[in-house]
Chains A and B, each alone.
Chain A
Amino acid sequence: MKRFTSLFAALVLGLGIQFSAAANTVAPDALVKSVSDDVISIVRQDKAIQSGDTHKAVSLVETKVLPYFDFAHMTRLAVGKDWKQASADQKSTLTQEFKTLLVRTYSNALTKYRDQQIDFEPLKAKPEDTDVIVRTKVRQAGAKPVQIDYNLEKQGDSWKVYDVLVAGVSLVTNYRDEFGQEVRAGGIDGLIKTLKDKNKQIDPAVAAKK
């Protein structure tokens, strides 16, 4: 009986600890892991996404992934030095268009998911750090694992992803040269126009036909 009570106490205590952890900040590596686990378990069961339903993949990304990304920061990084010359309006349009571009491109990638396994490397960070890298490796049969690293920044009580690196290539800064070129050719508005055109061109409805 005594053993039973202590077991019960441990259980309550355990639950209590878990609840308090949830109320406070979720560690950055735990965050990335839970989001990826979540998304993968959905894709695994969703035949529509597996057979290339980009619309569905996009909405999955929008609900499950986007809340943990800081697109304003990503856009600022991608635009680089020209960011300063953009007006507040232009900044928010740029952010919106860049977000659309990234979400569509990488949601398409999600439809290609086939049982890859994600390994998480131990997080190397001090408790007081506000900028960390969560390193993962995606393993698949017959190929070298692909390194995927997430840069996260602490904002208040939560962590937000501001860059993703695939095989060491930043999906964000990879745009910097192209964006710079566009701005030199047609100013910030030129860049906005190019992004809008590009987004129309890869609209899922159009992309699905390929």
Chain B
Amino acid sequence: MKKNSKPESTLVRRSTLAIGLTFAVTGCAGPGGHPKDPLEPMNRATFQFNEKADKYVMRPVAEVYDQAPLPVKTGVANFFGNIADVWIGVNNLLQGKFTDGLSDGGRFLLNSTVGLLGVFDVATEIGLEKHDEDLGQTLGYWGVGDGPYLVLPFLGPSNVRDGVSLIGDFHFDPLMQLEDVGARNSLTGLRFVSKRAALLGADTAAEEAALDKYGYMRSFYIQYRRNQIFDGQPPREKDPDDDDSSDNDKAATDKSAVGDAADKSPSPDKKESQ
């Protein structure tokens, strides 16, 4: 079975899309399909598109940007990191993590002033750690399931919960509040390039490590988001298969049981007591 399909004709692509939608409606993961990825045919098509867009546009632009001196790149990343801290703080508050939320507010005040509009991350220097939160994580924290895996055009791996949450993240994005369309677009573009450039190197590593890059990225995203929702301390998932000697637990380790394993993990709020 060859999984890396070449760019197909529009007809084929449309039909894969239709098949994908059918799967979505029936909620049926085809035989042997990934339990979290009923939309796989459509996702693979979007993935192929993203790969091409990245190869010919985003990555080359990021490589040019990467030639800038490190202090400049750091300053740019810090600037965008600083304006993001407000929404990160709000999401921490929404998750009931008041200390973290206050710390994010403190970071924003300090870095916006002493840190010269966020270009210098002085808050980290004095020990106010940078956090990473968004609406998708907040919903996940409160137990909202992630839904099917979804590859978004240009933005890449996501899922239904995180994809829908992006609308909220976007709505409260400080850059989107700018009245001046030109400034808004160029800053959004610069932020995108800065983030893409930070991933140079990691992308080649993934390329080398993966047998099937689509599948590798999918597993990566699912684990990565789970880790973020648990703030870096997810309970290790039980490995029903990690037992060299057992032979008679076939029923327990068949596909459906493995597929459910992620959903059975304890809800995130429990670990607050640690």
Binding site for B on A (CB under 8 A): 76-77, 79-81, 83-84, 101-102, 104-106, 108-109, 112, 133, 141-144, 147, 151, 165, 167-171, 173-179, 181-182, 184-185, 194-195, 198, 202, 207, 210
Contact = CB atoms under 8 A, between A and B. Distances in A.
Contacts of A202: 208
A143 B215 CA distance: 27
A176 B222 CA distance: 13
A169 B230 CA distance: 13
A105 B216 CA distance: 14
Interface in B22-81: 32, 34, 70, 73-75, 77-78, 81
A143 B75 CA distance: 10
23 contacts: A76-B242, A80-B239, A81-B240, A81-B253, A81-B254, A104-B208, A105-B205, A105-B208, A112-B201, A141-B70, A142-B73, A142-B75, A143-B77, A168-B223, A168-B228, A169-B224, A171-B209, A173-B237, A173-B239, A175-B216, A178-B210, A178-B212, A194-B211
Contact residues of A: prevailing secondary structure: helix
Q: How large is the interface on B (under 10, 10 to 19, 20 to 34, 35 or more residues)?
A: 35 or more
A105 B247 contact: no
A27 to B, nearest CB: 20
B108 to A, nearest CB: 16
A88 to B, nearest CB: 12
B172 to A, nearest CB: 21
B215 A178 contact: yes
Given A81-B253, A108-B205, A168-B227, 12 more contacts: A80-B241, A81-B254, A83-B241, A142-B73, A147-B227, A168-B232, A169-B220, A170-B223, A173-B237, A181-B212, A184-B32, A185-B1
A24 B1 CA distance: 51
Given A83-B241, A168-B234, A181 B215 contact: yes
B175 interface: no
Contacts, number: 104
A77 B242 contact: yes
Nearest to B3: A181
In the complex, the 8 A-B pairs of residues with the closest C-beta atoms, listed nearest first: A168-B227, A142-B74, A80-B241, A169-B223, A105-B209, A185-B1, A81-B241, A81-B253
B218 A177 contact: yes
Which of A109, A169, A176 is most buried by chain B, counting CB atoms within 10 A of its CB?
Answer: A169
A84 B247 contact: yes
B219 A178 contact: yes
Contacts of A147: 227, 232
B208 A167 contact: no
Contacts of A79: 241
Nearest to B77: A142
B264 interface: no
A51 to B, nearest CB: 15
Nearest to A184: B32
Given A109-B205, A147-B232, A169-B220, A181 B227 contact: no
Contacts of A77: 239, 241-242
Which of B34, B242, B254 is most buried by chain A, counting CB atoms within 10 A of its CB?
Answer: B242
A168 B201 CA distance: 19
B211 to A, nearest CB: 5
Given A142-B74, A176-B219, A81 B205 contact: no
B169 interface: no
B211 A178 contact: yes
B236 interface: yes
B227 A169 contact: yes
Nearest to B73: A142
Interface in B217-259: 218-220, 223-224, 226-228, 230, 232, 234, 236-237, 239-242, 244, 247, 253-254, 258
A142 B205 contact: no
